[in-house]
Amino acid sequence: MKDNFGREISYLRVSVTQRCNLNCVYCGKIECAKKDSELSPEIIEKLVRAFAKCGINKVRITGGEPLVRKDICEIIGRTREIEGIETIGITTNGVYLSEYANEMKKAGLDSVNISLDSTDGSTYRHLTGSDVLTKVLEGIDAAERAGLAPLKINAVLMKGVNSDGAGELINIARNRKIDVRFIELMPFSDDGEDSSLIVTGDEILREFSFLKPMQSEEGTAKYYSAQGFKGRIGLINPITHKFCSDCNRIRLLSDGKVKPCLGYDTVYDIMQYIDCESSLIEEIKKIIMNKPSGHSFESESAGHGLNKTGG
Ligand code: SAM
């Protein structure tokens, strides 16, 4: 369905947990997120079904880290059964991907986005607080073998921290059928982000001038390629090129609250309608209708780390 600004809202990001097994420097402090406040697969199915009846056809499962949930395959399987849901993707840090890739594919998962900010072991450890780069790289291989596609790597570059590793990340797209996407650092951590750390999409294009724009623009990413590349390079520039006028997404948080815009703290509790689908649909429609026109990251922090809302 369309919101008040004529945008077709068709994409639901479902955060299934606030828990995470990593502690990324830009993602906000991890509080003791509680497992018992998470929604069961049955409740997630009920909610997503209601969203599907409001025009949602694409679901991305995220977190926290979605693969810390042992019932992740049941969540995927139940989502797969919902009429109207055409594609299901997951965003993961990849640490448990080698364990789950096959099972998730069988449950109905289409695609995987893996967050990987560096291919250098010590930089990776510094960024995430964990020495698990090898596990993540094995996870990427396992996802590829399982036939999960498209496979995308998401990287956030920070000047003087991991920006010198951009070339190595780009080489992954050169050598494999994997898209590597650079996301501009957003001001989410509880201390606020130092804007001097941001590596903009334009800076990446200046440094890697062999990247040539492709026609394809999918959602928030603009894609580039180069001679001989098997995968694409994507730039997601929420800071320097606002894409709110094309925003087609809405978020379901791990406690059942709905967040219509990442840039605002406003959330809506729809759990009180869980046993009455018609009321649930009516509430969701109202929330979609009133989705804000855009964020204001350039002037202020959104206040909540993506570990809470799902990236
Ligand atoms: N745990 C999963 C993962 O690591 O992919 C899913 C959640 S994570 C919050 C989703 C995405 O948000 C990751 O790709 C991460 O890089 C991105 N992200 C988190 N904080 C960010 C920030 N301040 N600016 C830009 N991207 C951020």
Question: Which residue CA neighbors atom 19 of ligand 1 most closely?
Answer: 27
Output the pLDDT for position 294: 83
Q: Is 203 a domain residue? A: yes
Q: Is 4 a domain residue? A: no
- Please write the tens of the pLDDT for every residue from 235-277: 999 899 878 888 999 999 999 999 999 888 899 999 999 999 9
Does residue 51 have its Cβ closer than 6 Å to ligand 1?
Answer: no
Output the pLDDT for position 304: 56
Instruction: State which ligand 1 atom lies nearest to the alpha carbon of 28.
Output: 20
Q: What is the 3-state secondary structure (H, E, C) of the chain?
A: CECCCCCECCEEEEECCCCCCCCCCCCCCCCCCCHHHCCCHHHHHHHHHHHHCCCCCEEEEECCCHHHCCCHHHHHHHHHCCCCCCEEEEEECCCCHHHHHHHHHHHCCCEEEEECCCCCHHHHHHHHCCCCHHHHHHHHHHHHHHCCCCEEEEEECECCCCHHHHHHHHHHHHHCCCEEEEECCCCCCCCCCCHHHECCHHHHHHHCCCCEEEEEEECCEEEEECCCCCCCEEEECCCCCCCHHHCCEEEECCCCEEECCCCCCCCEECHHHCCCHHHHHHHHHHHHHCCCCCCCCCCCCCCCCHHHHCC
Residue 307 in this model has a pLDDT that exceeds 90: no
Q: Is 6 a domain residue? A: no
Mean pLDDT of the chain: 92
Does residue 52 have its Cβ closer than 6 Å to ligand 1?
Answer: no
Of 125 and 216, more confident = 125
- Model confidence at 67, pLDDT cuts 50, 70, 90, reads very high
pTM of the model: 0.93
CATH number at residue 166: 3.20.20.70
Question: Which residue CA neighbors atom 20 of ligand 1 most closely?
Answer: 27
Output the pLDDT for position 194: 79
Q: Is 5 a domain residue? A: no
- Please write the tens of the pLDDT for every residue from 172-188: 999 999 999 999 999 86
Does residue 104 have its Cβ closer than 6 Å to ligand 1?
Answer: no
Instruction: State which ligand 1 atom lies nearest to the alpha carbon of 26.
Output: 23
Of 37 and 55, more confident = 55
Residue 190 in this model has a pLDDT that exceeds 90: no
Q: Is 227 a domain residue? A: yes
Residue 74 in this model has a pLDDT that exceeds 90: yes
- Model confidence at 308, pLDDT cuts 50, 70, 90, reads low
Q: Is 1 a domain residue? A: no
Choosing from 13, 100, 115 the residue with most ligand 1 atoms within 8 A of its CB, the one to mutate for a pocket test is 115
Does residue 65 have its Cβ closer than 6 Å to ligand 1?
Answer: yes
Residue 128 in this model has a pLDDT that exceeds 60: yes
Number of domains in the chain: 1
Does residue 39 have its Cβ closer than 6 Å to ligand 1?
Answer: no
- Please write the tens of the pLDDT for every residue from 269-306: 999 999 999 999 999 999 999 999 887 665 554 545 66
Question: Which residue CA neighbors atom 14 of ligand 1 most closely?
Answer: 115
Where is average pLDDT lowest: 72-76, 104-108, 262-266, 300-304?
300-304
Does residue 85 have its Cβ closer than 6 Å to ligand 1?
Answer: no
Output the pLDDT for position 210: 98
Question: Which residue CA neighbors atom 11 of ligand 1 most closely?
Answer: 311
Output the pLDDT for position 133: 98
What's the CA-to-centroid distance between 26 and ligand 1, angstroms?
8
Instruction: State which ligand 1 atom lies nearest to the alpha carbon of 188.
Output: 23
Output the pLDDT for position 200: 97
Residue 120 in this model has a pLDDT that exceeds 80: yes
Q: Is 3 a domain residue? A: no
51: domain range?
11-309
Q: Is 2 a domain residue? A: no
Output the pLDDT for position 36: 76
What's the CA-to-centroid distance between 183 and ligand 1, angstroms?
9
Question: Which residue CA neighbors atom 1 of ligand 1 most closely?
Answer: 65
Provide mean pLDDT across the span 216-234.
91
